[in-house]
């Protein structure tokens, strides 16, 4: 039963041309970008913002005027629109005239919104590639751990067979077969846990690439190498989409301040109407102009300017806070990546060779009849733990690599297949 989850996944893997097609990290990122709903939503947001640029700088639509003036409501001519000489049926048009500097500022505000949505689209793409990389890495190392444990499972079964044969031949005590079987059961329990991790990791990857997550994975990128741009990430913080979004936000906030200040300058409107009277009287044309009177600026326009200035300062403070936060996170990731790299060097050059040498020596002593089985089992456990710890360090390095290597847009940082 412990193999049921992986068996179901394995049987569901699509076959192409009689062979399973490996899913590389680059291919997984490409598949994820094709139909990602987050990307589609953000592209729609960019398009919506662009559509608003042209109207932002235009005058308001004209207004149609319809009316009746001086309609009598008493006497013999009540509610008649033609008998009383003062009654007029009126039709006209009115146009609000916004100052040109205000319209320019509104256009700049709309362009700032477009730039922000474009940066958010880039940020969404960057986050998508990073998240896919992290999901791919989880699957890769879960599979690698499972492969290691299955290989060790075969070796442990041989130890159980040898211990039982030695006990049957009177060459060992009954504790050795028991210890060997216990070691095999403990290894099987580890396999169950890793199978669970592998199935969950495949489900996480399927969120991004669908059924392609069931394919075997291809060769991994070089997790011990960072793209040249990422060796000095701190020196290029302003290029990060996570921080670049604050540029358009600041431009928008500054433009809002200017618009609030421009509200102190009055706009105006004009209107023309044509009035028709009874047939005995001549028709009339009227023309008028209206203008705002910002007479109480200290209680109306000035507070609005102060509020927009405070919001602009808020954006500046948020940008600085985000910069410090991302700088700290990136420095921590670099520390993790370098530390994992040093740990891997130690495992490869010192710890794993020592564990293997110990296993070889105690196994040789046991085969030569100069030792017991328990030291062999203990040495094998230690070697297993060392190899799994090595994989854990490699996975930690890969996670830090993914979060560092996909900070910038695809044009500046690409994963190697």
Task: For the chain, give every domain's residue range.
Answer: 4-12+21-405
Regarding beta strands 284-291 and 63-69, do their DSSP bridges make them parallel or antiparallel, or are they unpaired?
A: unpaired
Question: CA 95 to CA 269: how far, in whole Å?
Answer: 5
The vertex-403 CA angle with 400 and 404, nearest 5°, equals: 85
Contacts for 318-326 with beta carbons within 8 Å, 24 or more apart?
318/246, 319/243, 319/246, 319/249, 319/250, 322/242, 322/243, 322/246, 323/237, 323/243, 326/237, 326/240, 326/242, 326/243
Fold designation for 4-12+21-405: Outer membrane efflux proteins (OEP) (1.20.1600)
Query: Phi-psi region for residue 20, left (φ > 0), alpha (ψ -120 to 50) or beta?
Result: beta
Please name the residues in contact with 121: beta carbons below 8 A apart, sequence gap of 6 or more.
39, 42, 43, 45, 46
- pLDDT, averaged per 10 consecutive residues of the chain (417 residues), comes to 40 44 92 89 95 93 93 85 84 94 94 95 93 95 87 65 57 61 74 88 92 91 78 74 91 94 92 87 91 88 93 95 91 90 89 82 71 71 84 93 86 41
CA distance 84 to 77: 7
């030569």: which residue's tokens? Answer: 368
Q: What is the pTM of this model?
A: 0.78
**Strand arrangement, sheet containing 284-291:** 63-69, 88-97, 268-276, 284-291
Report residue 287 as tokens.
Answer: 């023309």
């Amino acid at each position: 039963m412990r193999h049921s989850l992986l068996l179901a996944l394995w049987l569901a893997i699509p076959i192409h041309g009689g062979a399973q097609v490996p899913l590389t990290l680059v291919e997984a990122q490409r598949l994820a970008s094709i139909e990602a709903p987050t990307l589609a939503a953000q592209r729609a947001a960019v398009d919506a913002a662009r559509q608003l640029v042209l109207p932002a700088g235009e005058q308001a639509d004209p207004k149609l005027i319809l009316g009746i003036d001086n309609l009598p409501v008493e006497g013999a001519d009540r509610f008649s629109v033609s008998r009383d000489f003062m009654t007029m049926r009126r039709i006209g048009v009115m146009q609000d005239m916004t100052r040109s500097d205000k319209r320019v500022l509104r256009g700049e505000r709309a362009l700032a919104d477009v730039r922000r949505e474009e940066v958010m689209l880039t940020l969404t793409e960057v986050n998508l590639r990073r998240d896919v990389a992290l999901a791919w890495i989880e699957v890769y190392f879960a599979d690698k751990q499972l492969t290691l444990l299955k290989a060790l499972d075969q070796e442990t079964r041989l130890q159980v067979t040898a211990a039982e044969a030695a006990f049957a031949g009177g060459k060992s005590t009954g504790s050795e077969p028991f210890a060997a079987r216990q070691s095999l059961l403990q290894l099987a329990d580890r396999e169950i846990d890793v199978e669970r991790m592998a199935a969950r990791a495949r489900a996480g990857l399927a969120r991004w690439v669908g059924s392609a997550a069931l394919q075997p994975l291809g060769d991994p990128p070089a997790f011990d190498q960072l793209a040249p741009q990422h060796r000095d990430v701190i020196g290029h913080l302003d290029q990060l989409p996570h921080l670049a979004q604050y540029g358009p936000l600041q431009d928008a906030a500054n433009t809002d301040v200017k618009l609030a200040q421009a509200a102190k300058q009055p706009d105006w409107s004009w209107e023309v109407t044509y009035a028709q009277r009874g047939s005995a009287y001549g028709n009339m044309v009227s023309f008028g102009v209206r203008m705002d009177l910002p007479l109480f600026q200290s209680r109306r326009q000035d507070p609005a300017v102060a509020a927009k200035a405070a919001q602009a300062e808020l954006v500046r403070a948020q940008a600085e806070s985000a910069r410090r936060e991302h700088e700290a996170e990136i420095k921590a990731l670099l520390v993790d990546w370098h530390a994992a790299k040093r740990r891997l060097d130690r495992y490869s050059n010192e710890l794993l060779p020592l564990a293997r040498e110990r296993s070889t020596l105690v196994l040789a002593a046991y085969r030569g009849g100069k030792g017991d089985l328990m030291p062999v089992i203990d040495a094998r456990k230690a070697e297993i733990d060392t190899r799994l710890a090595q994989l854990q360090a490699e996975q930690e390095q890969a996670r830090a690599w993914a979060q560092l290597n996909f900070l910038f847009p695809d044009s500046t940082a690409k994963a190697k297949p």
